[in-house]
């Protein structure tokens, strides 16, 4: 069985579904950008004080993910060896996710200390090459389950699998043309986070894309 098929089977059994018990996730109307409508949205990134200071003074830079052992690895929307920078439009959920990821109060306090708020004018999407996975309508288990029965989930699942684990593509899940080569030409990929499908993330993959992220503020998350 292909990894993506196995993953879907586990989701269906309720073993890999994770979600935040929060109000429905607001969805910026990104499709209006083709009509020239202008809308500035806020995007969030949780990090350490040192990293937040670096971003404030030196700007945002693409990051290549490494494992705990220091080896290069893939990320949700970035195959191995490709840089990315991840933000989300769900402030509360990303802070809770960071706390859960960094088990132990000292690690959480350090790694989740600061919340960077960015302004992003989504009308610039007309100038960027991007792919948007629709994802579930809300963070509810019902909507997550319904999403798993859609072609959008199949393509998201296949793309994440190839980015994070590599391997051969699943011939039964042909990817959209802009994703088929790992999305090499894309400036931005938008879609659910693998670790928490209720959180929508924006993976900036080029310096051109990052140029449209403007730091609005850096504040303490209050993580204790």
How far is the CA of 15 from the CAs of 8, 12, 48, 153, in angstroms? 10, 8, 31, 17
What pLDDT score does 93 carry? 95
* Within a domain: 33: no
| CA dist., res. 100 & res. 46, Å (int) | 13
What pLDDT score does 36 carry? 43
pLDDT in 10s for each residue of the chain, 224 residues:
354 455 554 444 443 434 333 333 444 444 443 334 558 999 999 999 999 999 999 999 998 887 766 677 888 999 888 899 999 999 999 999 999 999 988 999 999 999 999 999 988 888 999 999 999 998 899 999 999 999 999 999 999 999 998 888 999 999 999 999 999 999 999 999 999 998 999 999 999 999 999 999 999 999 98
What pLDDT score does 29 carry? 46
What pLDDT score does 224 carry? 86
| CA dist., res. 68 & res. 66, Å (int) | 7
DSSP string, 16-31: S-----SSPPP---GG
* Within a domain: 32: no
What pLDDT score does 38 carry? 58
| CA dist., res. 149 & res. 60, Å (int) | 36
What pLDDT score does 28 carry? 46
Overall domain count for the chain:
1
* Within a domain: 27: no
Question: What order do you get walking across the sheet with 130-132 strand by strand?
Answer: 130-132, 188-192, 200-204, 85-88, 40-47, 114-121, 213-220
The residue segments making up the domain with residue 74 are 3-16+38-218
What pLDDT score does 70 carry? 66
Q: Quick one: DSSP state of residue 78? A: B
* Within a domain: 26: no
Is the pTM value of this prediction over 0.85?
no
What pLDDT score does 25 carry? 42
Whether 194 contacts 79, CB under 8 Å: no
What pLDDT score does 111 carry? 95
What pLDDT score does 123 carry? 87
Q: Please, where are the H alpha helices in the chain? A: 3-12, 49-58, 91-101, 105-111, 141-147, 151-165, 207-210
């Amino acid at each position: 069985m292909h990894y993506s098929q196995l993953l879907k089977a586990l989701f269906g059994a309720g073993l890999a579904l994770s979600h935040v018990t929060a109000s429905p996730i607001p969805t910026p109307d990104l499709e209006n950008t083709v009509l020239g409508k202008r809308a500035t949205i806020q995007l969030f990134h949780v990090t350490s004080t040192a990293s937040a200071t670096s971003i404030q003074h030196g700007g945002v830079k693409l990051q290549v993910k490494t494992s705990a052992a220091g080896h290069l690895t893939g990320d949700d929307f970035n195959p191995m060896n490709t840089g990315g920078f991840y933000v989300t439009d769900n402030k509360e959920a990303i802070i809770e996710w960071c706390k859960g990821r960094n088990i132990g109060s000292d690690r959480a306090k350090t790694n989740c200390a600061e919340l960077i708020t960015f302004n992003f004018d989504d009308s610039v999407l007309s100038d960027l090459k991007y792919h948007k996975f629709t994802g579930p309508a809300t963070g509810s288990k019902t909507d997550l389950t319904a999403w798993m029965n859609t072609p959008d989930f199949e393509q998201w699942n296949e793309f994440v699998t190839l980015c994070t684990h590599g391997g051969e593509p699943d011939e039964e899940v042909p990817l959209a043309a802009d994703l088929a080569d790992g999305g090499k030409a894309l400036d931005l990929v938008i879609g659910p986070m693998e670790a928490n499908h209720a959180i929508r993330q924006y993976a900036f993959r080029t310096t051109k894309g990052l140029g449209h992220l403007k730091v609005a503020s850096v504040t303490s998350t209050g993580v204790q």
